[in-house]
């Protein structure tokens, strides 16, 4: 048993990195978890780790930016795990360049994954949240549910070469603030966490050639040159990048019952860089 026992959580992009750490953190606190990744292999690894913790889990894999994905993953949670209490919109990737080189395709891809995908998931969940709140009110019960949207300090403060990514990450802040106002009457807390430099494959440092990730058959360069990374880390009050477990901790805080009166907030998790 744990503080989230009996809860059902959904974490997109949870096959790797921060998403996996969030899924494991919530599962360790007793929640059942819907895992998602573009690829079946990483999702299966996360499922196995959750099961070792003694929690239930299912996967709903695929592209969060697909038009039908929001409906599909919400239906998977309700049919496969019997409910939906926590949504963490985490899936995403970076595709950086200066604005003069930024294509329409690049712009739209960043908005699709970072803003439209969370919108569709939350729209799909709205019927469940509203119906559950009405039923619980009739029974004299009060149940708080949680939404945590993952943003970035690039969205909140801006970052060179990330105009599309930053736009998508700031859009999710506006979505967070709006739904906090709409869904308060349904007992849903809607918050966001904006990450700074967290150690993942997207922020790794390199000496010669950058690493690459593959999304839909396209390869993207990720990470920072070692010297640039050292400069950025020197600006962090804690003197280092964050670990994925620490990033997960920030999300976990907003999922706890102790956060039942916190909504419409953006928690900056950046080690004091800004």
CATH number of the domain at 176, please: 3.40.50.720
The residue with tokens 């920030």 is 250
Q: Could you give the residue ranges of the DSSP H alpha helices within the chain?
A: 17-28, 40-52, 69-81, 104-111, 117-138, 153-157, 163-183, 226-234, 244-255
Alpha carbons 32 and 50: distance in angstroms, whole number: 9
Q: Number of helices and strands (H, E) in the chain?
A: 9, 11
According to the model, what pLDDT value does residue 44 have?
A: 98
Secondary structure percentages of the chain, helix, strand, coil, to 5: 45, 20, 35
- What is the token pair recorded at 242? 């964050």
| Structural domain contains residue 2 | no
Q: Indicate the SS3 state at residue 31.
A: coil
Residue 41: HSE in the Cβ half-sphere, 13 Å Cα cutoff = 0
| Structural domain contains residue 3 | no
According to the model, what pLDDT value does residue 224 have?
A: 65
165 in catalytic set: yes
The residue with tokens 């004091």 is 272
| Structural domain contains residue 1 | no
Per-residue pLDDT of the chain (274 residues; tens, 9 = 90+): 899 999 999 999 999 999 999 999 999 999 999 999 999 999 999 999 999 999 999 999 999 999 999 999 999 999 999 999 999 999 999 898 899 999 999 999 999 999 999 999 999 999 999 999 999 999 999 999 999 999 999 999 988 889 999 999 999 999 999 999 999 999 999 999 999 999 887 676 666 666 676 777 777 677 667 777 778 888 899 999 999 999 999 999 999 999 999 999 999 999 998 7
Q: Identify the domain containing residue 118 by its residue range.
A: 8-269
φ and ψ at residue 222, rounded to 5 degrees: -135, 165
Q: Which residues contact 3 (CB under 8 A, 6 or more apart)?
A: 29, 30, 256, 257
Candidate list 165, 186, 233, 252, residue with the active-site label = 165
State how many domains the chain has: 1
The residue with tokens 């998508």 is 168
Q: By the 8 A CB rule, do 59 and 47 touch?
A: yes
Quote the pTM value: 0.92
| Structural domain contains residue 240 | yes
Backbone region of residue 123 per phi and psi (left: phi > 0; alpha: psi in -120 to 50; beta: other values): alpha
| Structural domain contains residue 208 | yes
Nearest to 8 by CA among 58, 81, 72: 81
Q: By the 8 A CB rule, do 165 and 115 touch?
A: no
According to the model, what pLDDT value does residue 262 have?
A: 98
| Structural domain contains residue 52 | yes
Alpha carbons 186 and 166: distance in angstroms, whole number: 30
According to the model, what pLDDT value does residue 214 have?
A: 74
| Structural domain contains residue 247 | yes
| Structural domain contains residue 36 | yes
Alpha carbons 238 and 228: distance in angstroms, whole number: 17
211 sits in which H/E element = strand 211-215
């Amino acid at each position: 048993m744990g503080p989230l026992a009996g809860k059902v959580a959904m974490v997109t992009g949870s096959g790797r990195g921060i998403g996996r750490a969030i899924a494991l953190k919530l599962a360790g606190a007793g929640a059942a978890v819907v895992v998602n990744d573009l690829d079946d292999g990483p999702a299966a690894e996360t499922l196995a780790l959750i099961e070792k913790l003694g929690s239930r889990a299912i996967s709903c894999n695929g592209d969060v930016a697909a038009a039908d994905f929001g409906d599909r993953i919400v239906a998977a949670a309700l049919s496969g795990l019997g409910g939906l209490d926590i949504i963490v919109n985490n899936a995403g990737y970076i595709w950086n360049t200066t604005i003069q080189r930024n294509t329409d395709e690049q712009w739209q891809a960043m908005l699709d994954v970072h803003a439209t995908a969370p919108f569709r998931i939350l729209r799909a969940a709205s019927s469940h949240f509203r119906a559950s709140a009405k039923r619980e009110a009739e029974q004299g019960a009060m149940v708080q549910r949680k939404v945590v949207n993952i943003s970035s300090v690039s969205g909140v403060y801006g970052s060179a070469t990330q105009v599309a990514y930053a736009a998508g990450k700031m859009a999710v802040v506006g979505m967070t603030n709006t739904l906090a106002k709409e869904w308060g009457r349904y007992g849903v807390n809607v918050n966001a966490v904006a990450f700074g430099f967290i150690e993942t494959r997207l922020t790794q440092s390199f000496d010669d050639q950058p690493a690459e990730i593959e999304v839909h058959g396209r390869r993207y360069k990720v990470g920072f040159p070692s010297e640039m990374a050292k400069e950025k880390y020197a600006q962090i009050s804690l003197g280092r990048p964050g670990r994925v477990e620490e990033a997960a901790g920030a999300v976990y805080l907003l999922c706890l019952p102790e956060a039942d009166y916190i909504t419409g907030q953006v928690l900056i998790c950046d080690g004091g860089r800004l």
